[in-house]
Amino acid sequence: MPDHPLVVRKVAVLGAGVMGAQIAAHLVNANVPVILFELPAKEGNANGNVLKAVANLKKLEPSPLALKDKADLIEPANYDQHLERLRDCDIVIEAISERMDWKADLYKKVAPYLGQHTIFASNTSGLSINKLAAAFPEQQRHRFCGVHFFNPPRYMHLVELIACTGTDAGILDDLERFLVTTLGKGVIRAKDTPNFIANRVGVFSMLATIHHAERLGIGFDTVDALTGSLIGRPKSATFRTADVVGLDTFAHVVNTMRDTLPDDPWHQYYGVPAWLQKLIDEGALGQKTRKGVYQKIGRDIQVLDLKTGGYRVSDGKADETIVEILKNKNPAERFAQLHASSHPQAQFIWSIFRDSFHYCALHLESIAHNARDLDFAIRWGFGWDAGPFEIWQSTGWKQIAGWISEDIAAGKSMVNAPLPAWAADPSRIGVHRPDGSYAPGSNSYQPRSVLAVYKRQPFPDKLLGEERQYGTTIFETDGVRCWHTGDDIAIVSFKSRMHAIGDDVLQGVQQAIAEAENNYIGLVVWQIDPPFSVGANLKKSSGNTAKPAPPSALGKLFKSVKREAESLALKAARQIGVADQLMAGKLAEVEHLVEQFQITTQMLKYSMVPTVAAVDGLALGGGCEFVMHCDRAVATLESYIGLVEVGVGLLPAGGGCKEFAMRAAADAKGGDMSPFLQKYFKAVAMAEVGRSAEHAREIGYLRVTDRIIMNRFELLEIAKAEIRAMAAAGYRPPLRAKAIPALGRSGISTIRAFMENMRAGGHISEHDYLIGTKVATVLCGGDIEGGSLVDEQWFLDLERQHFMELIATEKTQARIEQMLKTGKPLRN
């Protein structure tokens, strides 16, 4: 234990550059008071430099801030005037330029002002922590370490935690707890080697990609087509990632490797290629200068072409035969085909994997504590779906190791250093085992960290080879699995793709609620992986139709409707104008589902046991309505919640409009509810989606009583804690409201007046106007006198009526069709 338990009252960040400012932003996202330091401005307000950086935070996309206004909660400071304020800070994070001399100067300057228990951590991405520590006063060195955030820090899960020789172990544990629970990060303990783990491996992988692309004459755009989602990496793949990161930053990391790793077998490759240096010299640094490997001219994306030295339209594609290979779900077959193919693109992909595997195997012992840490570092820091060792192991360790050794012997690999003995061992089947991951130094399998903070993660991020049992099944249907973890709380998880809600899910949730009422103290709606749910799926359950589901969130929802819309009968009916009657037969099914939806959400609200929606990622449409009806939501900051039905010409009919109508009445506290209702109208009519859980709360999808948390792996535990608290407080469902004031017909006409101007100004179409009018009609309680008292069912009936009227219109059907065909909304 450290001599002083870490209570983080306040944090200081030194350096308001790209990383420093964004780290400060993430601290305020987590409600941690933060002081952001920068050099004093030469003229004007001495805090001018910080204020500029803070203002810039509001413009960055994707936003580093959960709510734009939170930027103003960052306290600006400068080194000339405010060093005294450091005394109140429990953690100081240094994030200034990567210059050893500048950092050393700064340490000397600030050290006397640090509090007795202040932890001082450098966010260096490559400098040696021990060398930096040497610049720190010896008596304070036990509170010095490295914390390496990844850009953008709000979104990248990884933080590497690096000790110096003297760092107090307890301090590291405390810091890890803070980073994991308070900031929601995934912490990897890295060794003090150049660029630590993720950048070392990730940047090598990029260098290998550049090397093999040049060797095989594959253009940058084609490289990106091959090295993105096709091989389980981010869509920005290799060169677009470099553009986003900044080519100068990339070069800096490469140069660090060149300067600090003279004995590395791959040292000859640690260099900035001439073309890249030329771009940097010309000031083409990527996204921040709007020109890099790519540039956008008008609507065209252009890519640098090394053959001509100029830019050309970016249209590189993966060869169809290669795509076929990469789509093969069996990794062993996939790699065998790549390895066997003489196609340059296949050879390219095999080569970059081979050299990355080779590199990781050779360096694992020196850079990481075990193979798990390396894999997670790459997954969390570079966004790969699987780490290099996971891929290797899933592909057949021995086979791949054999091929690598063959290529090394044949001089095909980048360097001829042999695989380490442990990796080449023919009896090896992998590095990840249920009991731990391989650590070459000790030749042992190391289990996961036993720090107390991980007790909050019963189901941490999955690793290949780990056996994972998600509790004990209570019952399972086609739509859901209801289960528990050995305690008295029931959990229901959806089995559908993207966790869309169809009839089977609705029936399953209803059954789960009944089960929970009889045998448990509460019910948590939790998904093993995000999203929470992309919304309703009106398709009737028909077992597993193993079709590749459309990527669009709303795709499934509209498939059945599309079929109907395309039916000959319907087309004929349209011509003679009796579509409504003819469609009635099939739409009855849809109406039945809407009804079931409403029954389910009402059950979530009025069940005899507390219900909690544990939200991470998307919660759209019907998913959002589930969230709105549970007694409480626990949402990670990265939850994107919204009622998006209007986007395809429909309106929320699973109780979403009803809840907003009731919330407006409650918000008004007996006063005028129109400003509240108009706000909710805007949310529904514009299909607003919260850009964070806090934003969703600002819009009104989340309530003040709902919890926002930072780490998705803690979600289930916190949701269960909420259940326990409600149950312990003697939970009773809310009494059914029988006298909800409605805004009525005047409210409808006032909203129509607003839309009338939008229509006259050409901002919305006739159909938008119709949809908006219907949303207004439902929210206002229909054509009744303002202030009339109605009950929930009144609103629910209106929802259903107007949903069905909209789905019967040609234009809504056209929107649905277009969404299906192109994934893009239709304006009609």
Residues that bind another protein (CB under 8 A): 672, 674-675, 745-750, 752-753, 756-757, 760-763, 783
CA 459 to chain centre: 17
**Minimum separation from the CB atom of position 752 to another protein (A):** 6
User: In sequence order, what are the residues at sequence separation of 6 or more whose Cβ sits closer than 8 angstroms to the Cβ of residue 588?
Assistant: none
**Minimum separation from the CB atom of position 31 to another protein (A):** 21
**Minimum separation from the CB atom of position 827 to another protein (A):** 12
**Minimum separation from the CB atom of position 750 to another protein (A):** 5
> Between 112 and 675, whose beta carbon lies closer to another protein?
675
**Minimum separation from the CB atom of position 170 to another protein (A):** 38
The secondary structure of 83-152 as a DSSP string is GGGGGG-SEEEE---S-HHHHHHHHHHHGGGS-TT-EEEE--SSS-HHHHHHTS-GGGGGGEEEEEE-SS
E strands present in 10-56: 11-14, 34-38
**Minimum separation from the CB atom of position 328 to another protein (A):** 49
Of 159, 163, 165, which is closest to residue 138 (Cα–Cα)? 165
Q: Can the peptide bond before residue 152 be classed as cis, meaning omega within 30 degrees of 0?
A: yes
**Minimum separation from the CB atom of position 675 to another protein (A):** 8
Scanning 341-387, the segments in alpha helix (DSSP H) are: 344-367, 371-382
**Minimum separation from the CB atom of position 823 to another protein (A):** 25
Amino acid at 756: E
Alpha carbon distance 753, 755 (integer Å): 5
CB–CB of 114/107 below 8 Å?
no
For the beta carbon of residue 582, count every other beta carbon within 10 angstroms.
17
**Minimum separation from the CB atom of position 788 to another protein (A):** 14
> Between 309 and 762, whose beta carbon lies closer to another protein?
762
**Minimum separation from the CB atom of position 676 to another protein (A):** 12
CB–CB of 371/437 below 8 Å?
yes
**Minimum separation from the CB atom of position 338 to another protein (A):** 51
> Between 312 and 745, whose beta carbon lies closer to another protein?
745
Of 341, 360, 364, 357, which is closest to residue 404 (Cα–Cα)? 357
Of 530, 525, 370, which is closest to residue 461 (Cα–Cα)? 530
> Between 165 and 757, whose beta carbon lies closer to another protein?
757
Of 389, 365, 432, 437, which is closest to residue 191 (Cα–Cα)? 365
> Between 76 and 292, whose beta carbon lies closer to another protein?
76
**Minimum separation from the CB atom of position 224 to another protein (A):** 35
Please give the structure tokens belonging to residue 480: 């859901």
> Between 330 and 746, whose beta carbon lies closer to another protein?
746
> Between 543 and 761, whose beta carbon lies closer to another protein?
761
Q: How many Cα atoms are found within 13 Å in the side-chain-facing hemisphere of 342?
A: 0
Alpha carbon distance 720, 184 (integer Å): 18
> Between 565 and 661, whose beta carbon lies closer to another protein?
661
Q: Is 158 helix (H, G, I), strand (E, B) or coil?
A: strand
> Between 81 and 757, whose beta carbon lies closer to another protein?
757
The torsion region of residue 787 among left (phi > 0), alpha (psi -120 to 50) and beta comes to left
**Minimum separation from the CB atom of position 59 to another protein (A):** 19
**Minimum separation from the CB atom of position 812 to another protein (A):** 22
> Between 748 and 820, whose beta carbon lies closer to another protein?
748
> Between 576 and 760, whose beta carbon lies closer to another protein?
760
End-to-end CA distance of the chain: 65
**Minimum separation from the CB atom of position 47 to another protein (A):** 14
The structure tokens 């939170």 sit at 70
E strands present in 152-293: 158-163, 186-190
CB–CB of 532/627 below 8 Å?
yes
Sign of the Cα torsion 635, 636, 637, 640 reads negative
> Between 639 and 674, whose beta carbon lies closer to another protein?
674
The secondary structure of 579-595 as a DSSP string is HHHHHHHHHHHHHHHHH
Alpha carbon distance 658, 662 (integer Å): 6
Please give the structure tokens belonging to residue 89: 């800070």
> Between 85 and 412, whose beta carbon lies closer to another protein?
85
The structure tokens 């009968």 sit at 569
Strand partners, 35: 12, 75
Scanning 445-550, the segments in alpha helix (DSSP H) are: 503-519
> Between 426 and 762, whose beta carbon lies closer to another protein?
762
Please give the structure tokens belonging to residue 214: 């040049």
Q: What angle do CA 16, 22, 23 make, to 5 degrees?
A: 90
> Between 215 and 763, whose beta carbon lies closer to another protein?
763
**Minimum separation from the CB atom of position 754 to another protein (A):** 8
Q: Is 759 helix (H, G, I), strand (E, B) or coil?
A: helix
The secondary structure of 434-466 as a DSSP string is TTEEEETTTTEEEPPP--GGGGG-SS-S--TT-
**Minimum separation from the CB atom of position 671 to another protein (A):** 11
> Between 734 and 762, whose beta carbon lies closer to another protein?
762
Q: Render the burial of 412-449: b for 16+ CB within 10 Å, e for the rest.
A: bbbbeeebeeebbeeeeebbbeeebbbbbeeeebbeeb
Alpha carbon distance 33, 31 (integer Å): 6
> Between 279 and 677, whose beta carbon lies closer to another protein?
677
**What letter would DSSP give residue 179?**
I
